[in-house]
Amino acid sequence: MTAYQEKLLERFLRYVAIPSQSNAAVNTVPTSQGQIELGKLLVKELQDLGLENVKQDEHGVVTGFLPGTCARATLGFCSHLDTVDVGLSDVVKPQVIDYQGGDVVLNEKEQIIMKESEHPELKAYIGQKVIFTDGTSVLGADNKSAMSNIMTALSILVEEKREHGPIYVAFVPDEEIGLKGSKVLNLENFKVDYAYTIDSCALGEVVYETFNAGSVYFEITGVTAHPMSSKGVLVNPILVAHDLIALFDRKQTPEFTADKDGYWWFNGIEANALTCNLVMHIRDFDKASYQKRKEFVSKAVSQVQKLHPKAQIKVRFEDVYENICNNVKKEDKPIAKLYAALEEVGVEAKTYAMRGGTDGSCLSARGVVTPNYFTGAHNFHSLYEFLPLDSFEKSLEVTLKLIETA
């Protein structure tokens, strides 16, 4: 194990020991006490490293500032504090295995085996030290590997007295349940020229294209009447909703689309005889066609309204996040610097357009261009999540290179 790997591992084990699952059933941010506890630890560590303005705000967002020792762009690094709740234990018992190929016995007692045949991605890591779970939880590399990466990078800058520009860090809660933390991050505490998130993804993966995303809330009010005397009177809001849904292309849905295709996704309905509340998500990589989809919704509503003049249809749009590259091109600084950093540390870039959003999509929508790069981990949100130490270190090297070349 290299000296940097030891540093990373030590931090990683410390952070995964604090359970910090977010809780989708809670409406306030942060949604769990664990994220506050983890944030408190980070506050102390940031203060010990000599960062300024270190704080944990009322939403559990932790921010800090490391003044520059030389003139460079002001960089930001962001990681989320929460781990996902997929019904597994929130107690993480990681193990470092010298992987020599074949199946991995995650848990001898419970006979939880990770089969190489089902996980061919393992083959790339033969002969490497890899952090695995004990088969009862996720590993939490999503996103405690990123947290360890950022904190280790800061400690290296300070301990090795490396030159660096001004750096802001932000640790945000509740990414897994709708990017809630990056929505409430106070940008006064994150006054960067541009920023990066480090999240998920295997060695070399870069994401700077994400969906433009929005939600549409329909509230349909019908007219109730006793069915014995309903003819020409009753307006059934459920059937109004049915007519509305029927206007949307059945093939432009998550289950029929891939790659760069956008979609509509009706994913919530609550109804009775009087009202029907309907929820739809809109996703599209292209901002213009995202707008067109919204216009289509408005047209569909007026069409159905004509069909059912006595029904009342209210519609409310909510933009949720935005494609990171709406306002930036591949040649522009934040993205070009990232590709250059990967090349300089000898990692082949694997770019992919993410059919989802990152904290960076949210920050980008708020005016801070924030691409994402890999942590090195695989199989996030699963008990088969694992983190190879060599990839973990490469991710750290990218961070250090971005700081050096800002």
- According to DSSP, the β-strands at 194-198 and 75-80 are parallel
Strand pairing class (167-172; 75-80): parallel
Residue 357 half-sphere exposure, CB side, CA atoms within 13 Å? 28
Cβ pair 283, 355 in contact under 8 A: yes
Minimum Å distance from CB 250 to Zn ion?
A: 32
DSSP string, 328-339: --TTSHHHHHHH
In whole angstroms, the minimum distance from the beta carbon of 340 to Zn ion comes to: 25
Distance CA 206, CA 332 (A): 15
**Closer CB to Zn ion, 220 or 324, in the complex:** 324
Nearer to Zn ion, 200 or 399 (CB): 200
Cβ proximity to Zn ion, 199 vs 385, nearer residue: 199
Chain residues binding Zn ion by CB under 5 A are 142-143, 199-200
Closest distance to Zn ion from the beta carbon of 79 (Å): 8
Exposed/middle/buried for residue 111 (C-beta within 10 Å: 0-12, 13-18, 19+): exposed
CB 11: neighbour CB atoms within 10 A?
20
CB of 381 to Zn ion, least distance (A): 9
Catalytic residue among 82, 142, 385, 393: 82
Whether residue 82 lies in the annotated active site: yes
Report yes or no: 60 and 182 within 8 Å, Cβ to Cβ.
Answer: no
- What is the separation, in whole angstroms, between the first and last Cα of the chain? 29
Read out DSSP for 186-246?
-GGG---SEEEEE-S--TTEEEEEE-EEEEEEEEEE-B---GGG-TTT-B-HHHHHHHHHH
Q: Tokens 């962001």 appear where?
A: 78
Nearer to Zn ion, 144 or 294 (CB): 144
Of the candidates 196, 274, 292, the one whose C-alpha atom is nearest the C-alpha of residue 235 is: 274
In whole angstroms, the minimum distance from the beta carbon of 337 to Zn ion comes to 22
205 classed as catalytic: no
| 143 vs 323, beta carbon nearer Zn ion | 143
Residue 199 · residue 399 · CB < 8 Å: no
* Cα–Cα distance measured from residue 6 to residue 148, given in angstroms and rounded to the nearest whole number: 11
Catalytic residue among 175, 209, 359, 393: 175
* Least Cβ distance, residue 54 to Zn ion (angstroms): 23
CB 21, min distance to Zn ion, A: 12
Least spacing, CB of residue 165 vs Zn ion, in Å: 26
| CB nearer to Zn ion: pick between 45 and 174 | 174
Quick one: 15 or 264, whose CB is closer to Zn ion?
15
- CB nearer Zn ion, residue 85 or residue 142: 142
Give CA angle at 341 (405, 171), nearest 5°. Answer: 80
262 close to 282: Cβ distance less than 8 angstroms: yes
At residue 278, the 3 state secondary structure works out as strand
For residues 199 and 377, give the distance between their C-alpha atoms in angstroms, rounded to a whole number.
Answer: 9
Q: Which amino acids are annotated catalytic?
A: 82, 175
